Amino acid sequence: MTSLDKTQFQGENLMCVRGERTVFHALDFSLNAGGALVLIGPNGAGKSSLLRMMASLLRPAEGRMMWRANGGEDDVWDDVDLHGGRLHYVGHHDAVKPVLTAAENIGFWARLRGGGEDTIQDALGVFDINHLYDVPGRFLSAGQKRRVNLARIIAAPAPLWLLDEPTTALDKATIKRLEDAIQRHRDAGGMVVLSTHADVNTPGAEILDLADFASKALLDEHVMV
């Protein structure tokens, strides 16, 4: 993936306001092809909000995010559909439909991104759930649903992975499989941003502690009240 070698995803001076509360401000990040960014911080520090921002689901109150590739650069918010096409987002919900089989669930999302039937088996194999191929979603356990959701991002490639607590409900062996998948993705020039409380082994990853960007002025205000 030589075209990805010079790809860069960058955020400048980002500020997030939820309700009346400033969650974080003046946050910068920069991610190069093959890079990984691990978001840490206490509950409510804005890990999920930052990931949703990166996914263009949440508009920052301030700041901008740029995507650079092939010598060009564009603002993420100028064309949200374009940005959506180059990322995979794994949120708190697994988006597994109870009446569709595991393969149908993955196949639908893959086809929207131009993936084919053959990629489904491979994707299921990555998380060792080939035996769930035609099992409807309602019979899957929480961990199996999470695996199906993770297999979805393998089935159709996208350069940027945004994983919000991806290890939730996963057993140790599967976490290892996820680490391997992340490593392969990065070796191929992909980027990964993940938030986690558990330890996910991502060698050479940059750590971003969101507590560093919590709004100081606002904290003082709360103390006074």
Partner 1 sequence: MSNFIELVKRDLALAFRQGMDSLMVVAFFVIAVVLFPFGVGPEVNTLAKIAAGTIWVAALLSSMLSLERLFQTDYDDGSLELLALAPVPMEVTVLAKVVAHWLTTGLPLIVTAPVLAVLMQLPEEGFGTLMVALLLGTPTLSLIGAVGAALVLGSRRGGVLLSLLILPLYIPILIFGVSAVDAAIFDQAVRPHLLILGALLVGSLAMTPWAAAAGLRQALE
- The least distance separating partner 1 from the CB of residue 216, rounded to whole angstroms, comes to 25
DSSP assignment of 23-82 equals EEEEEEEEEETT-EEEEE-STTSSHHHHHHHHTTSS--SEEEEEEEETTEEEEGGG-HHH
109 lies in the site for partner 1, by CB under 8 A: yes
55 lies in the site for partner 1, by CB under 8 A: yes
69 lies in the site for partner 1, by CB under 8 A: no
91 lies in the site for partner 1, by CB under 8 A: yes
Residue 10 CB neighbour total at 10 angstroms:
16
Residue number with CB closer to partner 1 (17 or 40): 17
97 lies in the site for partner 1, by CB under 8 A: yes
- The least distance separating partner 1 from the CB of residue 156, rounded to whole angstroms, comes to 10
Q: Which stretch binds partner 1 (CB under 8 A): 38-46, 53-61, 68-76, 123-131?
A: 53-61
Q: Please, what's the b/e burial string for 62-99 (b: 16 or more CB within 10 A of its CB; e: otherwise)?
A: ebebebebeeeeeebeeeeeebbebbbbbbeebebeee
106 lies in the site for partner 1, by CB under 8 A: no
Residue 169 CB neighbour total at 10 angstroms:
15
- Phi-psi region at 44: left, alpha or beta (left = phi > 0; alpha = psi -120 to 50): left
Greatest Cα pair distance, the chain, in angstroms, is: 60
List C-alpha distances in Å: 7 to 64, 71, 95.
17, 9, 29
74 lies in the site for partner 1, by CB under 8 A: no
172 lies in the site for partner 1, by CB under 8 A: no
Torsion of CA 97, 174, 132, 187, to 10 degrees: 80
36 lies in the site for partner 1, by CB under 8 A: no
Candidates 6, 21, 59, 197; binder of partner 1 (CB under 8 A) is 59
56 lies in the site for partner 1, by CB under 8 A: yes
Candidates 3, 13, 44, 112; binder of partner 1 (CB under 8 A) is 112
- The least distance separating partner 1 from the CB of residue 91, rounded to whole angstroms, comes to 5
Residue 30, strand partner residues = 10
Q: Which stretch binds partner 1 (CB under 8 A): 62-70, 77-85, 117-125, 170-178?
A: 77-85
Interface size with partner 1, residues (CB under 8 A): 26
> What residue ranges bind partner 1 (CB under 8 A)?
55-59, 81-82, 84-85, 87, 89, 91-97, 99-100, 104, 108-109, 111-113
